[in-house]
Chain A
Amino acid sequence: MILSFTGRKWFIILTSAIVVSLLIFAGDKAVIYTSTDDFCNRCHVHPHSNQSWIRSTHYDNQRGIIVHCSECHLPPHGQGYLKEKIKTGTRDVNSAIFKDIKKINWEEKSRPDIAVRHTYQSSCIRCHENLFTKGLSKEGEDAHLYYNEHVEEVYCINCHLQVGHYSENVIHAKNVQFGKEKKIDTIYPEPARITEFKNYTEYIPGTGVSFKMIAIPGGNFMMGSPMDESFRKEDEGPQREVSIKPFFMGRAEVSWDEYLAFFSAMGTEGRSSDAYLNSLNATNIDAITGPTPPYGAPDQGWGTDSYPAITMTYHAARIYCLWLSKVTGKKYRLPTEAEWEYAARGGTTGPYFFKGDPAYFEKARYKNKLSNSDTSGIIAYVNYNLNSRGKTVPLGTLKENPFGLVNMLGNVSEFCQDWYDPGTYSAYPPGIVANPTGPLTGEEHVVRGGSFRSETSAVRCAARGRTWSEAWLKTDPQMPKSIWWYSDCIYVGFRVICEY
């Protein structure tokens, strides 16, 4: 193994030396040779790169045209071809020598936000000159008109990701089958009955889905971060003393099992307007309509079951709570930002609910590459960009916080019901703030806790995030855009609370 790996290194070093000299002495021929599929495939042996290409429409099509590696992964000749070839070539040779190919997260690199770095828009357009081809569907026309209006913001592969490397999980089409194959063994006839203030398990009636709810005692805490906390941001202050009533909170984020119970009960082909949804409340909840089929695979192919549900919109999360309240006869809703932070801290006052300084973990992270620095303190609790491999983790992977909640920090960011405003804390009246609910109006909502993509700095208890409604729907090809599914956000989920 070691030998063969070293052998490969030497092969690469030798090859690159040859490439450089060839480039100098043989010019054109070398450029052509080093752009062949065979040459690319010598190193790009990572799972399925070749197989998924052969299954894609850029290889397997009715016209017999084969589009080769360098035709997409380099710009066209005369449009920075040589420059990019040298740049990417150097990068590849460097990774091949100094990085362990097995440790590279290829799956993450194939997601649109990262794939745009090694797939050239100009190359797509060199061949696909006419975006309004014969037989293009109405939806396609609308989507391409949208692209024409937003050329600088939208890439071809935002919608057409699977054309070069095929994957079921990224097909940009209505996924009517999603969440429909689930087999159920037990069906719960009745919801949980709450008789006293202690942890309980909720059963969604008529389904096989249950989930744990933790009793969170009331109390006072300091909301926000002190001035001297590492990576503190301006919007986390000034710190305020806040009092919180007791409530129950989901032990983990709402899982796919839970969300799909809602989806299969209420899923619809129709759509409802925002105005309509805003008019819904506990009294007219009978009128609920449910989510439309998503585009592609909302779970990104990572798994459903106890993985946290993602890509549903803020509206969808809100309607889920209304639905859950209705079927269980309780009052479920999204937590307020204050309830969320109170629950996340679980009585602690530091940057995290466990011991450790974000600055240390950050440093350790970089040192980690050379020596084994200690990040065990954080990775036992938090799924973030150090240990996540670019994915969420299912329930049961990480340890609880002092209240018994899991995945409060990292994994997926969580919707709160408050509107986001950077000056929220200073706008509260002086003194102890009781059960604050944030600004009265706003444009975007608060999200909390950071996610599997976050840095150490963003998975602190006090770190605040927000929704980006426009950006998260950028590539939704529908007009009007979906109110149920985000097309461009895979790192936000939510957790419910139940009022006591």
Chain B
Amino acid sequence: MKPKTNELSRRKFLGNAAAVSAVGVLGVGQFLTACDKIKIPKDLILPPLLEQAPDGEVIKAGVIGCGGRGTEAAQNFLDAGPNLQVVALADVFQDRIDQCRKRLKEVKGVDISDDKCFTGFDCYKKLLEQDISYVIIATPPYFRPEHFKSAVEAKKNIFFEKPVAVDPVGIRTIMSAGKQAEAFGLSIVTGTQRRHSPDYIETYKRIMGGAIGDIVAANAYWNQSKLWHRNRMPEWSDMEYMIRDWVNWRWLSGDHIVEQHIHNLDVIHWFTGKTPLRAVGMGSRQRRVTGDQYDNFSVDFVYEGEIHMHSMCRQINDCANNVSEYIRGTKGYTNCQDTIWKPDGTVLWTYEYPMKDADGNPTLKISPYVQEHIDLITAIRTNKPVNEAERIAKTNLMAIMGRESAYTGKETTWDEMMASELKVGPKELIMGKVDMEVVIPIPGTAPQE
């Protein structure tokens, strides 16, 4: 059985690297005469990037997690092509269902009947019993492994948001359910939309072709202003409050290095084709209002061959913001998004955006948020399954690895994380009292078992 992963295997990566360096040696003359001539390998596995999903049998979708992202993803799905329907909704809260339903009615003219709307913690089980073949999972990350696994067992094609889990036990659930999905021929796409974005993809092709030589260092940033929080309403139970304020609670979101920064880490994972061996991180909580998360992390990830990748993420107002990636090679560097530079800082190549947005900024023709659904539906309708589960699980574990190092102050290793029994969250999911004592991790105080 050949692993049908969408990702370059390690051996393949090394093979490519060898090919790349051979090209490098042979291509010197070429570079002198025609600087912008960059080789693009033909065997890369990339999404087809159609502007619209091909027509086919009607695909009925259900949404699990009808908050902002779930509602938006449902619209993105409907925008992806012909013969697509959203027929069922599930959310732990009724008001979320109502808002989502109303929005889909207003914007898309979609009617969803009461008997196709489900609430409560087991809403997803009822939704999966419906006549649907496509599930959008956009619940808080804590719930995703269980929801994903159930959706695979119900043999649904899945679009699920990142991150996919908040702890290593959840990661392994995703990995093995992902393998099951592979055996069933299901298609799975995750919300790491950079991998479905033509500018990133064109840059990736050129990096794989050797445009910057061998990778020697990288950086990943997600430094932004404070994220949202909710103030507690008197009628909310502990659990209800925590879930409504989920981006601020470690057990629900995985902390922001996992929840947001995963996008940038995924780009590094994609471009290097590798996962780090070990990490040492630090972080703290300075300005956050609610919850028990940190609001800044800085992690040194080390790869095979002592290649370092520095990752940095922060959610604090009035600081230097930057959401981007940077990879340095022996022959140049790139922002991974749309430009490749030579070592001296002159531009070697830049992506030409097809159009300009309302403000006159260059932009893509199709939003990557829609593109990811187009790619998933294309896979289903052309019967060429894609499965992004393993790769997102690995990126996700990388983020957890950085987080755990920052929390404890200790070095973490990949093998240790792959084997870790760490599982967070309350023992029981009940809409009621939860132990809400806020315990902020303090490095250097981890119990010496």
Contacts and interface: CB of A to CB of B under 8 A. Distances in A.
A109 B420 CA distance: 35
B426 interface: no
Interface in B428-449: 448-449
* Nearest 9 pairs of A and B residues by beta carbon: A130-B183, A141-B176, A132-B179, A479-B419, A273-B449, A132-B180, A125-B1, A276-B449, A132-B176
Given A141-B176, A145-B172, A481-B419, A132 B449 contact: no
B421 A479 contact: yes
Interface in B161-180: 172-173, 175-177, 179-180
A132 B177 CA distance: 8
Contact of B180 (A125, A130, A480): A130
A129 B1 contact: yes
Interface in B395-449: 418-421, 448-449
Interface residues of A, number: 22
**Max chain B Cβ within 10 angstroms of own Cβ: one of A131, A132, A275, A276:** A132
Interface string B148-172: 0000000000000000000000001
A141 B172 CA distance: 8
B3 interface: yes
A146 B420 CA distance: 12
A144 B176 contact: yes
B421 A275 contact: no
A142 interface: yes
Given A125-B1, A132-B176, A275 B183 contact: no
Nearest to B3: A148
A234 B290 CA distance: 63
A62 interface: no
A275 B172 CA distance: 25
Interface string A418-448: 0000000000000000000000000000000
B383 to A, nearest CB: 18
Contact of B418 (A132, A144, A149): A149
A145 B176 contact: yes
A4 interface: no
Interface string A464-494: 0000000000000001110000000000000
Given A132-B179, A144-B176, 10 more contacts: A125-B1, A129-B1, A133-B180, A142-B172, A145-B418, A275-B448, A275-B449, A276-B449, A479-B418, A480-B419
Interface in A116-147: 125, 129-133, 136, 141-142, 144-146
A144 B179 contact: yes
Contacts of A273: 449
Interface string A133-172: 1001000011011101100000000000000000000000
Contacts of B173: 141
Contacts of B172: 141-142, 145
A85 B421 CA distance: 45
Nearest to A279: B448
Nearest to A144: B176
A131 B3 CA distance: 11
Contacts of A272: 449
Nearest to B178: A132
A131 B421 CA distance: 22
Contacts of A145: 172, 175-176, 179, 418
A447 to B, nearest CB: 24
Interface of B: 1, 3, 172-173, 175-177, 179-180, 183, 418-421, 448-449
A120 to B, nearest CB: 13
Contacts of A479: 418-421
Interface of A: 125, 129-133, 136, 141-142, 144-146, 148-149, 272-273, 275-276, 279, 479-481
Contacts of A133: 180, 183
Contacts of A141: 172-173, 176
**Max chain A Cβ within 10 angstroms of own Cβ: one of B176, B177, B448, B449:** B176
16 contacts: A129-B1, A129-B183, A130-B179, A131-B179, A132-B176, A132-B177, A132-B179, A141-B172, A141-B176, A145-B172, A145-B175, A148-B175, A148-B179, A149-B418, A272-B449, A275-B449
Contacts of B175: 145, 148
Contacts of B177: 132
A479 B418 CA distance: 9
Contacts, number: 46
Contacts of B421: 479-480
Nearest to B414: A149
A125 B183 CA distance: 13
B183 A132 contact: yes
Contacts of B180: 130, 132-133
A131 B449 CA distance: 35
A275 B449 CA distance: 6
A144 B418 CA distance: 12
Nearest to A122: B1
Nearest to B418: A149
A273 B183 CA distance: 36
A481 B415 CA distance: 11
Nearest to B448: A275
A141 B145 CA distance: 14
B252 to A, nearest CB: 23
A129 B420 CA distance: 27
Contacts of B420: 479-480
Contacts of A149: 418
**Max chain B Cβ within 10 angstroms of own Cβ: one of A141, A146, A275:** A141
A313 B449 CA distance: 20
B157 to A, nearest CB: 17
Nearest to B9: A151
A272 B421 CA distance: 13
A486 B177 CA distance: 29
A132 B186 CA distance: 14
Contacts of B418: 145-146, 149, 479
A282 to B, nearest CB: 19
Nearest to B390: A148
B430 to A, nearest CB: 24
B391 to A, nearest CB: 13
B63 to A, nearest CB: 26
B238 to A, nearest CB: 29
Contacts of A146: 418
Nearest to B176: A141
A146 B176 CA distance: 10
**Max chain B Cβ within 10 angstroms of own Cβ: one of A131, A144, A145, A146:** A145
Nearest to B181: A132
A141 B418 CA distance: 12
A149 B180 CA distance: 16
A216 to B, nearest CB: 37
Contacts of A279: 448
A273 B418 CA distance: 17
A277 B179 CA distance: 37
Nearest to B2: A125
B167 to A, nearest CB: 13
Nearest to A130: B183
A129 B418 CA distance: 23
A227 to B, nearest CB: 38
A463 B419 CA distance: 35
Nearest to B275: A149
A273 B449 CA distance: 7
A142 B180 CA distance: 13
B421 to A, nearest CB: 7
A480 B416 CA distance: 8
Contacts of A136: 176
Contacts of A132: 176-177, 179-180, 183
A441 to B, nearest CB: 17
Contacts of B1: 125, 129
B411 to A, nearest CB: 14
Contacts of B448: 275, 279
B276 to A, nearest CB: 14
A136 B176 CA distance: 10
A276 B447 CA distance: 11
B295 to A, nearest CB: 31
